Chain A
Amino acid sequence: MAEVLANSLRFHVQRLPAPADPDPSRPVVVFLHGLVVDNLSSFYCPLALPAARAGHEVVLHDLRGHGRSERPATGYDARTAVADLVALLGALGLAHRPVHLVGNSYGGTLALHAALARPDLVAGLTLLEPPLSGPWVENMLDTLSAAALSLEDSPVPTELHSLRLRKAAQLTAVADALLNRTSLIDDIATSRVFTPGDYARLHCPVLLVCGEHSELLAGAREFLAHAPRCVLEVLPGLGHDVLKESSGVLRTSVLTHLDAVSGALVS
Chain B
Amino acid sequence: MASETLPASAVLAEITAMLVEIVGDEYLLADEVTPATTFNEDLALESIEFVALAELLHQRYGDGVDLMGFLAEKDMEEVLAMSVGDLVEHIALSTSRTAPRSASLSTSLPAAG
Contact = CB atoms under 8 A, between A and B. Distances in A.
Binding between chains A and B: yes
Interface string A64-91: 0001100000000000000000000000
Contacts, number: 61
Interface stretch (B8-16, B65-73, B94-102): B65-73
Interface in A34-72: 39-42, 44-46, 49-50, 52-53, 62, 67-68
A44 to B, nearest CB: 5
Contacts of A14: 51, 55
Given A53-B72, A247-B75, A163 B23 contact: yes
A41 B79 CA distance: 12
A40 B51 contact: yes
B76 A41 contact: yes
Contacts of B79: 45
A15 to B, nearest CB: 9
Interface core residue of B48, B50, B76 (most chain A CB under 10 Å)? B48
B47 A167 contact: no
B109 interface: no
A170 B72 contact: no
A250 to B, nearest CB: 11
Q: Is the interface of B mostly helix, strand, loop or mixed?
A: helix
A223 B110 CA distance: 57
A68 B44 contact: no
A49 B68 contact: yes
Interface residues of B, number: 25
Contact of B71 (A42, A45, A163): A45
A171 B49 CA distance: 12
B27 A166 contact: yes
B90 interface: no
B74 A164 contact: no
Interface of B: 23, 27-28, 42-48, 50-52, 54-55, 58, 63, 68-69, 71-72, 74-76, 79
Interface of A: 1-2, 14, 16-17, 39-42, 44-46, 49-50, 52-53, 62, 67-68, 160, 162-164, 166-167, 170-171, 247
Closest 6 CB pairs of A and B: A41-B47, A49-B72, A167-B44, A41-B48, A163-B44, A164-B44
